[in-house]
Amino acid sequence: MIRPALVLALPLAAAAAFAFQCPADMSTISAALDTGPKLSEADLARVRQLRTEGERLHAAGEHQHSIDILAEAMRVLGIK
pLDDT score, position 80:
76
Please state, in angstroms and rounded to a whole number, the distance separating the CA atoms of residues 33 and 17: 25
25-68 residue pLDDT tens: 999 999 999 999 999 999 999 999 999 999 999 999 999 999 99
**Helix, strand or coil for residue 45?**
helix
> Please, which pLDDT band fits residue 13 given cuts at 50, 70 and 90?
very low
How many residues comprise the chain? 80
